[in-house]
């Protein structure tokens, strides 16, 4: 008999626990629903502000990009690197690996004063070689024997002449200094469109900046707003049951 009573008590306790869990889950779902509803109400209330600031931000980004940022063009040439053993004979795997590793070495040589000082002298450039080296980029092409020499500048033709002169001077100096070879496979040319600024990226960034400003304004206004607008808010604040709502003139309900 006592065992049966214990079983009944355990069953009742389990049922109570299940009911409590279900009640807790329902309450949690209701709270999430209230929060989502409040969130969408805020979005609806401040939709005009958000759209306006997003448009203002986008317009400001477009105007700054179009009229205040100087467009820059890229001039580039492509060269192929060989080591000293590749002058004659067939290309082996070891030759290929050696040539790909030489790209980094040749990049340092191309950006050195040994190459750039003659470029400055022949083109009558008014700058030290350090300033020119900072504008030159030498990079391998997809882990191959190829390397690209490029320069970004507001004057595309100016950049093209410098890159072209580098491609003319570098091969002979490389052959003399490291007994390798470096040959042009693509003549220097300038991009038809500016590489910077990126109008689409700047517009996107400006629109998100406008939305961020709107979010800050909304957060401040909502944090400082102590007005009670719904009976749910009143019940939450006072822990009392709302038995009625007095509507204001025009059909709105009293907010206090």
- Cis check: omega of the bond before 36, within 30 degrees of 0: no
Task: Record the tokens describing residue 194, joined without a space.
Answer: 């500016």
Of all helices (H) and strands (E), which one includes residue 14?
Answer: helix 2-45
Contact 156, 73 (CB under 8 A): yes
Q: What pLDDT is attached to residue 140?
A: 86
Residue 51 falls inside a structural domain: no
pTM (2 d.p.)? 0.66
Query: Which segments of the chain have a pLDDT < 50?
Result: 2-3, 85, 87-88, 252-256
Instruction: Give the pLDDT confidence score for residue 230 in this predicted structure.
Output: 64
* DSSP label of 244: -
CATH classification at residue 122: 3.30.70.1130
- β partners of residue 112: none
- For 78, the domain range is 73-190
Number of domain units in the chain:
1
Give per-residue pLDDT as tens, 196-251.
999 999 999 999 999 999 999 998 988 887 776 666 666 666 666 666 666 665 55
| Distance (Å, whole) CA 204 – CA 197 | 13
Residue 237 lies in a domain: no
Residue 153 within any structural domain of the chain = yes
Residues 81 and 106: beta-carbon distance below 8 Å: yes
Is residue 92 domain-resident? yes
243 lies in a domain? Answer: no
The DSSP 8-state label assigned to residue 139 in this structure reads: E
Q: Is residue 57 part of a domain?
A: no
Q: What angle do CA 68, 151, 191 make, to 5 degrees?
A: 70
Query: What pLDDT is attached to residue 255?
Result: 44
Separation CA 126–CA 137 (nearest Å): 20
Is 241 inside a domain boundary?
Answer: no
Q: What is the pLDDT of residue 254?
A: 47
Please write the tens of the pLDDT for every residue from 151-167.
Answer: 999 999 999 999 999 99
Task: Tell whether 39 is covered by a domain.
Answer: no
């Amino acid at each position: 008999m006592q065992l049966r009573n214990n079983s009944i008590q355990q069953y009742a306790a389990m049922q109570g626990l299940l009911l409590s869990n279900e009640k807790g889950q329902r309450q949690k779902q209701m709270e999430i629903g209230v929060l989502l509803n409040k969130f969408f109400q805020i979005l609806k209330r401040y939709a005009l502000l958000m759209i306006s600031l997003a448009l203002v931000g986008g317009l400001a980004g477009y105007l700054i990009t179009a009229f205040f940022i100087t467009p820059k063009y890229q001039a580039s040439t492509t060269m192929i690197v060989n080591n000293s053993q590749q002058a004659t004979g067939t290309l082996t795997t070891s030759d290929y690996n050696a040539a790909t590793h030489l790209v980094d070495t040749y990049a340092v040589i191309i950006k050195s004063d040994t190459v750039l000082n003659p470029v400055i002298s022949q083109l009558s450039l008014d700058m030290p070689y350090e300033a020119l080296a900072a504008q030159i980029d030498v990079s391998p092409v997809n882990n191959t024997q190829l390397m690209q020499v490029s320069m970004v500048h507001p004057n595309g033709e100016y950049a093209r002449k410098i890159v072209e002169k580098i491609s003319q001077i570098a091969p002979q100096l490389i052959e003399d200094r490291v007994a390798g070879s470096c040959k042009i496979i693509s003549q220097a040319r300038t991009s038809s469109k500016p590489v910077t600024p990126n109008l689409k990226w700047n517009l996107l960034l400006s629109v998100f900046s406008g939305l961020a400003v709107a979010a800050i304004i909304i957060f401040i206004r909502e944090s400082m707003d102590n007005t009670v607008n719904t009976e749910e808010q009143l019940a939450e604040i006072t822990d009392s049951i709302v038995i009625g709502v007095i509507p204001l003139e025009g059909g709105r309900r009293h907010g206090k």
